[in-house]
Structure 1
Amino acid sequence: MTNMIYTAMPALPKKHHTNAVVLPSEWNTCPLSSIVEEISETVGTRKIETISISAGIGFVNQAEKFGRELSGKQYGKYIVLHKGDFSYNKGNSNIYPQGCIYRLNNRTEAAVPNVFESFRVSVGNPDYYEQLFLSGFLNRQLYSKINRGVRDNGLLNLKGKDFYSCEVPYPPLAEQERIAEILIQCDRVIEVKEQKLDELKQLKKEFLRKMFPAKGCDTPEIRFPGFTGAWEQRKLIDEVTSIDTGKSKFTPQKSGVYEILGSTSVIGYDDSYDYEGDFLLTARVGANAGELYRHSGKVKISDNTVFIKGEQLDFIYYALLHFDIKRLSFGTGQPLVKASELKTQDIMMPVDSDERSAISTYFSNLDHLITLHQRELEETKTYKKTLAKLLLTGIVRVQG
């Protein structure tokens, strides 16, 4: 009986071990240097757009990223990329600690710093290798080659010859093309979902602007049918139960960063105080200073985090989003918003409570829709990441 079972079982695909990863026996491996050409063309006296690489984003205009051109006297030594060329930024980041590789897809040509390793794929399918690099396939090999104790102008200490000695898989060309086609289709789906999410966020931004009175006005540009009359200016402190900082309620117990509805800029202290009902929090660190978050129940907050407590905070929350309390933040090291500042602020409110409820319900439903699209986008990205790992290493095979 056992022999019959083994006879009926399909043969497992043959694998072979490489310096990079275990791959199907039909796949070859080769050093990166054997399938790419290093690019040495320099800008010289030509005027070409200078770009840099931003981890998680790709190529960005240098002046837009840094607020100014950084090339200076080195501009003539910058490397010229043409559409389809690749560049490896050896700068480490939280997203890509071993650096990142991107392909120039949305420009005809551009100039990148000569400290980047720039190359073009001359053997094999460039689309396949773009997906391979984006998947982080080289990370393990790069990690072993990088001298992490030494930096050169903030860059990882990795020589060009070590980078190009990394091994990459070389499936049959027809399979490369099919794998690339599948993953590119995933990218297109992700792009459509990102566009939809951006449209919803922009819609919310526009309606926050139009459904609340502009500065100096007492009525909004857009209003639900049946509501008339001027809005009233009221003190924020009079419309909520309290506006305080964590320092007034919490004793520091431990350090650590905790998430508050997507914010990682709220420092965690004691979480033993359990609020009844909803409350609002402002983040206090860096670019997120003054961002507003809704929460209920137990929470870890810092002594500088402002929390706003009240029984019915729906309308207040959206009114403060329109007000944009981020503009009250101050400080350069760790910008923050003071509770005392918020206590003196005025907000515009409709007299009719039904109008406040209608506005809150509209934006609450819009937020719910945004959350659903955000979740769907993240699930699609996770699916693509998993699929890429399976296809790019031959765990799952496709017919060319």
Structure 2
Amino acid sequence: MGNTPNVRFKGFTEDWEQRKLGDVFEQTSNLVNPKEDEIELWSLTVEDGLTKKSDRYNREFLVKKDDNFKEVRPGDIVYNPMNMTLGAVGYNGMTKSVAVSGYYTTMIAKENYDTYYINTWLKSSQAIRLYRTYATGSLIEKQRVQFPTLSIIPVAFPKYEEQTMIGRYFSNLDHLITLHQQKCDEIKELKKYMLQNMFPQKDEKVPKIRFAGFTGDWEQRKWMNSVDISTEMVDPASGEYDDMPHIAPGNIESFTGRILDNVRTVKEEQLISGKFRFRPDDVVYGKINPQLGKYFYASVDGLTSADAYVFKGKNGITQKFLFSVIQTSDFFKYSVSVSKRSGMPKINRDELNAYAFLAPSEEEQDKIGNFLLEIDHLITLHQQKCAALKESKKYMLQNMFPQKGENKCQN
């Protein structure tokens, strides 16, 4: 292993010094009884680190006996010896203690070691490679990294000042990721609330929330008189559609209308059977398993599978409002209820045509549709920012810790 990283903050030039992890960490073993000590029971996952157990789980474990639990105090690090090779490590950055399974290992960093730096390094790809090298156990799936094993692993560490710089960098990065994720979750909750309140409730003719200047009852509409269900099926093997995207239900995120990153062109897919054509402003809806909520508002020309419908509003129903309608709880409940049959759930054309809904004037429809699409846009922006920050973190995790055979550069 090299003794300096690929990416480094300016002003730091010294080689990192070799340490054994036993010189860095001190094992703790503070046993607690959650039934008596009024301490919350938490778990540990590879993805999220320390995670709160559900209230239901907390109630269920109370009936068990002879379970050992360890206290994870503020500033403590905890890991699962059985999943350490996957990066099952967590850090208690809260101001309260929590309880975890007695099978977990708890420890604390010694003096002159920055806790956030340590916590970041413990989940890095370099650290995980070391765990796999030193793990004990005859079967790969049963290999463990108990504390005595962890203690002998040799690692290069920078001086404390550089540790704190790296730790602060990752702390700020994690904070930004959390902020964008929280903002994304808040906007999703707002959309859910608005979908519930910008459409009339059962047996009502007006919604609870309405744009200024609009009055009067909404009118009942039948799907068959308000929506065309496309029958324009084309041959994808003709070559005419080669450069168009093929967006099937499997390319759509459930309940968001977001297109996933796994879309390929018609030519790349080498499609041979008939596909439905869609155009900008068309609404595409997955008819198989409607409980999965697969739909999107088209912004490009493309093809979709025979497992989807292409909708166009008519007789005073606008496209953006139509897209809003299929996201309402009323439409969802209807689509799920009528698709329950033996075999794979599916909503057919006759069942769609029998659906009735309320609609306001076209002007009000567009206000509603535009508003909800703008919310979708904000959600997507925060998701993209969050994904970009995670990619940046991934890159820095690979390059801010020493690896063998790397060229050095200053950050």
The one of 245, 256, 259 aligned to 2:251: 259
Matched, 1:105 2:90: no
Report if aligned partners of 1:49, 1:110 keep a CA contact under 8 Å in 2.
yes
Report if aligned partners of 1:87, 1:117 keep a CA contact under 8 Å in 2.
yes
2:128 corresponds to: 139
1:1-400 matched pairs, under 5 angstroms: 17=2, 26-44=15-33, 46-47=36-37, 48-64=39-55, 69-70=60-61, 73=64, 76-89=67-80, 98-123=86-111, 124-145=113-134, 150=139, 156-160=142-146, 161-242=148-229, 258-260=250-252, 261-262=258-259, 270=271, 273-277=275-279, 278-282=282-286, 289-295=292-298, 297-299=301-303, 301=305, 305-310=307-312, 313-323=319-329, 327=333, 329=336, 338-339=347-348, 342-350=352-360, 352-393=361-402, 395=408
> How far off its partner does 1:181 sit?
1.6
> How far off its partner does 1:166 sit?
3.8
Q: Which has the higher contact order (CA 8 A, sep 6+)?
A: 2
CA distance in 2, matches of 1:316, 1:289: 18
Cα 1:284–1:239 shift into 2, 3 Å: same
One-letter code of the match for 1:168?
V
> Tell me, which stretches of 5 or more residues in structure 2 are unaligned?
237-247, 253-257, 264-268
> How far off its partner does 1:120 sit?
1.6
One-letter code of the match for 1:46?
E
Report if aligned partners of 1:36, 1:119 keep a CA contact under 8 Å in 2.
yes
1:13 corresponds to: none
2:244 corresponds to: none
> Tell me, which stretches of 5 or more residues in structure 1 are unaligned?
1-15, 251-255
Q: Deviation string for 1:194-246 (max 9, x for gaps)?
A: 333333323322222222112221101222233222112333344322289x9
1:10 corresponds to: none
CA distance in 2, matches of 1:381, 1:75: 41
One-letter code of the match for 1:17?
G
CA distance in 1, matches of 2:330, 2:64: 42
> How far off its partner does 1:17 sit?
2.9
Cα 1:147–1:377 shift into 2, 3 Å: same
* Aligned-pair identity (%): 22
**TM-score normalised by structure 1 residue count:** 0.73
Report if aligned partners of 2:276, 2:304 keep a CA contact under 8 Å in 1.
no
CA distance in 2, matches of 1:72, 1:21: 52
Report if aligned partners of 1:98, 1:156 keep a CA contact under 8 Å in 2.
no
CA distance in 2, matches of 1:320, 1:257: 15
One-letter code of the match for 1:158?
R
One-letter code of the match for 1:60?
T
Cα 1:55–1:344 shift into 2, 3 Å: farther
Cα 1:186–1:276 shift into 2, 3 Å: closer
Stretch moving more, 180-189 or 21-30: 21-30
CA distance in 2, matches of 1:369, 1:22: 33
Report if aligned partners of 1:211, 1:223 keep a CA contact under 8 Å in 2.
yes
Cα 1:339–1:90 shift into 2, 3 Å: farther
> How far off its partner does 1:297 sit?
4.3
Q: Deviation string for 1:346-394 (max 9, x for gaps)?
A: 32211x1121122112222232233223222322332333334433349
RMSD, aligned CA: 4.4
